[in-house]
Amino acid sequence: MNFQFTEEHLMIRDTARKFAEEELAASAAERDEKEEFPGEAVKKLGELGFMGMMVPAAYGGAELDTVSYVLAMEEIAKVDASAAVIMSVNNSLVCDGINEWGTEDQKQRFLVSLAGGTLLGAFALSEPEAGSDASNQRTTAARDGDTYVLNGTKNFITNGLHANVVLVFAATDRSKGPHGVSAFLVEKETPGFSVAKKERKLGIRSSDTVSLAFEDARVPAANRLGEEGQGFRIAMKTLDGGRIGIAAQALGIAQASLEASVLYSKQRKAFEHPIAEFQAIQFKLADMATEIEAARLLTLSAAAKKDAGQRYTEAAAMAKLAASKTAVKSSLDAVQIYGGYGYLKDFPVERYLRDSKITEIYEGTSEVQRLVIARALLRA
Ligand code: CAA
């Protein structure tokens, strides 16, 4: 596959890089420390078109391709992985879902503002007993006239505290398993819907992760996304795209780890030489660069398949599996290269390490990605 980026791709990448350096870099460490949401930056990301990158212009989006999205995500994540996941969830898991399955009315009411960054979206699939086993939905949605009554709990919901609209999955018929799940667009003000708990986390601390409670929350039937029973398929297809976004986030963390390591190893002296002169360091840097480039090509390949309208489920799983592993390994190596300083909050690499781990967990653990890839191999 030939990745000749267009002028537009390069412009998007440069815009994202400039934005990250000017608007995120100076505050990223402090926001991480204080668990502070980057509200102003998210608004500006919306103004730049980065909150609805693949949404058609007719619905307020930037109408760009997935390759552009990957390039922008990597640049944002390189500086601030928290801002990147906020952006990724809104783009891939909320905007893309509404764009593909939404009615015209839903697009006008939600997509236009979500893509423009004036509303923020969250995606609520996970539950205490439905993590990897996502179809085991205990949250129920019972039809009652023109509404559905939702009851249950969701957890690990990124953006849940600040979101105005949450794409919620719930069982409309538990006896049908995955075919009895439906999707709903739930507005923040809905009576009976509340944020139950804000989690305290190892990494991506400037993004919020919460559990949500539904107690007889009435949602208009007009807010159901897709048909009754189509929800699990919507969740899986949406997550296929989301996994490309998280792969790009992981790439950003890995690239930041590499760049910090190169810089530091040229400055830091030991035994009267810059440590970059030692093969022990050089081999680490070479492995990091090689693994990052391999993961980047897998991610771009998955994005290009999506843009070409080809099946990309397995390609997205491979990209996320490889990029998340690379992020964890690169950030761990960066801490090792920094030695004792790598363990201190004075330097950014300890944040890269803390931020990297979640990329192996959310939007499908590495074990789930392997399962998706293996099932396809065995089905063939
Ligand atoms: N596209 C379209 N349809 C799909 C699909 C896909 N990628 N994957 C599955 N389906 C369909 C199947 O075809 C099947 O339909 P049929 O019966 O008609 O054939 C149906 O869905 C059920 O599929 P499976 O039998 O494969 O379902 P399963 O129960 O075995 O689960 C799984 C498969 C891959 C493990 C899935 O449950 C999964 O991906 N789990 C992980 C969930 C996950 O990623 N959660 C992330 C939460 S969101 C998040 O993390 C966001 C954030 O905060 C940043």
- Output the pLDDT for position 121: 98
Instruction: Work out the average pLDDT over 30-34.
Output: 98
CB atoms within 10 A of CB 336: 15
Q: 134: Cβ below 6 Å to ligand 1? A: yes
Mean pLDDT of the chain, nearest integer:
97
| CA 63 – ligand 1 centroid, Å | 27
pLDDT at 2: 61
Structural domain contains residue 67:
yes
Return the ligand 1 atom nearest residue 313 CA: 7
Tell me if 282 sits within 8 A of 132, measured CB to CB.
no
266 occurs within a structural domain: yes
| Residue nearest atom 26 in ligand 1 by C-alpha distance | 372
Same domain, 249 and 336: yes
* Strand-pair partners of 122: 166
Residues 239-251, mean pLDDT to the nearest whole number: 98
Contact 69, 53 (CB under 8 A): yes
Same domain, 246 and 361: yes
Confidence check: pLDDT of 301 > 90:
yes
Note whether 165 and 223 are same-domain residues.
yes
Residues 269 and 141 in one domain: no
pLDDT grade for 1, boundaries at 50, 70 and 90? low
Please give the single-letter amino acid code of residue 245.
G
**Domain shared by 294 and 314, yes or no:** yes
Residue 318 CA to residue 194 CA, distance in Å, equals 36
Calpha distance 301→319 (Å, rounded): 8
Q: How does residue 3 score in pLDDT terms, banded at 50, 70 and 90?
A: confident
CB-based contacts of 133: which residues, under 8 Å, 6+ apart? none
Residue 363 known to be catalytic: yes
Are 135 and 38 contained in the same domain? no
Q: Which atom of ligand 1 is nearest to the CA of 126?
A: 47
Domain of 331, CATH number, reads: 1.20.140.10
Angle at 39 between CA 37 and CA 45, to 5 degrees: 120
Specify the number of domains making up the chain: 3
Per-residue pLDDT tens over the stretch 319-375: 999 999 999 999 999 999 999 999 999 999 999 999 999 999 999 999 999 999 999
Distance CA 172, CA 140 (A): 6
pTM score, two decimals? 0.98
Give the burial string for 155-170 (b: 16+ CB within 10 Å, else e).
bbbbbbbbbbbbbbbb
Q: Which atom of ligand 1 is nearest to the CA of 85?
A: 54
Q: What angle separates helix 66-79 from helix 7-19, to the nearest 10 degrees? A: 20
Query: 152 and 104, same structural domain?
Result: no
Of the three residues 120, 137, 167, the one that is the final residue of a domain is 120
Residues 152 and 57 in one domain: no
Supply the residue whose CA is at minimum distance from atom 44 of ligand 1: 364
Q: How much distance in Å is there from the Cα of 232 to the middle of ligand 1?
A: 7
The pLDDT of residue 4: 85
Q: Which of 185, 200, 229 is the last residue of a domain?
A: 229
Does residue 2 belong to any structural domain of this protein?
A: no
Q: What is the CATH number of the domain that holds 109?
A: 1.10.540.10
Same domain, 308 and 369: yes
The parent domain of residue 24 ranges over 7-120
Same domain, 272 and 335: yes
Domain annotation covers residue 1: no
Domain boundary among 67, 101, 120: 120
Q: Give the C-alpha separation, 191 to 282, whole Å.
A: 58
